[in-house]
Amino acid sequence: MIAIATPAEMFALGAKLGAQLKAGDLILLNGPLGAGKTLFTQGIGSALGITGITSPTFVISRVHLGLLPLIHVDAYRLLIDGQANLYLDDLDLDSAVSDSVTVVEWGGEEAARLSDERLEINIDRSEEVRQVSASGIGARWAGFLL
């Protein structure tokens, strides 16, 4: 667990991860509304030379070009509808995942099927200081520490 007390620390943690990412990486971000998922993604983007990242809640998905393309998905509205599997298929993410870094906010089991190798990050904001944990799935993330 990593304790995050400020927005700047959340951004920096995202940037630290972003510096280690490569094409094909899938990051699933989970946490309640306001936990810092988009801020974390902005940090990832900064490490990839990308600015101007905003939450894609209403457009579902945005592609940002940088050192590596960043596909930023917000599955919140898809989960509310209860048909996230169908909508994720409609986004055609499988075709771009191998060439990009993909970050899925609200990336539950529906998004996990996009790759057998992924990093699942959970942000707990039940206390004033957020707690961030990461679980690596697959050989790519074996032994990975955030």
> What is the set of domains in the chain, with CATH numbers?
2-139 (3.40.50.300)
Strands of the 61-64 sheet, one edge to the other: 2-4, 130-137, 118-124, 26-30, 101-105, 70-74, 61-64
pTM of the full structure? 0.85
Give the pLDDT score at 60: 63
Report how far apart, in Å, the C-alpha atoms of 90 and of each of 8, 95, 133 are.
35, 11, 30
Give the pLDDT score at 57: 59
pLDDT score of 119 more than 70: yes
pLDDT score of 135 more than 80: yes
